[in-house]
A and B are shown apart, each in its own frame.
Chain A
């Protein structure tokens, strides 16, 4: 890997990590959800800082070009991240469904109580 490319990679990853930290500081994202991003960014940073590691990793799994190794691992990180998002969305959907159902049942109860108290007021007058 040539030095210009390496500097480019490192700069990009650092900006990315700063972006995550900034969002965390402003509480725009939850710590729980930022972990997968921070871990993948950290992994990529280590690979970018130590190019021989990329070659070793490439040889280990049998990828000839170091650049391809980087792409393959970036792809793997993305798969993990996107899958995590699907898990999160599904959890949220289940919670939303449950909330919607309980809210509707509660609304019926309030309606009945209001009707009952209105009737009682009518009786008292």
Chain B
């Protein structure tokens, strides 16, 4: 089974090499692809020097555009499963097997690694947990799907979802919106417990002060996504 691990990276010079090396050590059988999203630091030099597998976007598209490039690559190269693994070292590759298993068994089309199912490992702040629950409610209202960690970037999808995302992937708030998008296309979305680590380098792209504003914008984009795909359900 052809499996591709997509690693979006924007200014991750401190952590990208260790992330890839760890992945290679834990899952040598899987292909990976780093998507350098127009980094302004030395991420690209590291990728070239170490001869890692990567594509390099000439301008910064944001996480949505970068992930879509990965899905496009996966689709074109006939991968059957694509996994997103963040380049900042937060996601533990030891959970990859657990993430992929439901797809292999054919009981899910999209699997999300959730920090909140069993509350192991690194937890975020109370505000972000509340935000996550709030967005979870909005997602349930929009498409009836129950997820505990909608903003988790640690996720795996099968071939049909790869095809959907290669053509239609949200650019502004891709993590929650892609769940709604997949659900409204009648794909089965599940979450499984994973433990996440504190990031090993770089700065989180989400500023806690802007969290409330973020929640409003995400809710709006989810509702718009629901309206856009009205006919699907």
By a CB distance below 8 angstroms, the chain A residues around B35 are 104
Q: A105 with B72: in contact, given A97-B171, A100-B65 (CB under 8 Å)? A: yes
By a CB distance below 8 angstroms, the chain A residues around B58 are 100, 103-104
CA distance A102 to B55 in the complex (A): 10
Residue B145, interface by CB 8 Å: no
By a CB distance below 8 angstroms, the chain B residues around A97 are 61, 65, 68, 171
Residue B203, interface by CB 8 Å: no
Interface size class of B (residues with CB under 8 A): 10 to 19
Residue A114, interface by CB 8 Å: no
Residue B57, interface by CB 8 Å: yes
Give the interface SS of chain A, mostly helix, strand, loop or mixed.
helix
**Residues A86-125 near B (CB distance < 8 A):** 96-97, 100-105, 107-108
Q: A100 with B54: in contact, given A105-B72, A105-B73 (CB under 8 Å)? A: no
Residue B59, interface by CB 8 Å: yes
In the complex, the answer to whether A105 meets B55 with C-beta atoms within 8 Å is yes
CA distance A108 to B51 in the complex (A): 12
CB distance from A61 to the nearest CB of B (A): 30
- Listed in ascending order, the chain A residues whose CB lies under 8 Å from chain B are 96-97, 100-105, 107-108
5 interchain residue pairs of minimum CB distance: A101-B69, A104-B55, A108-B55, A104-B57, A97-B65
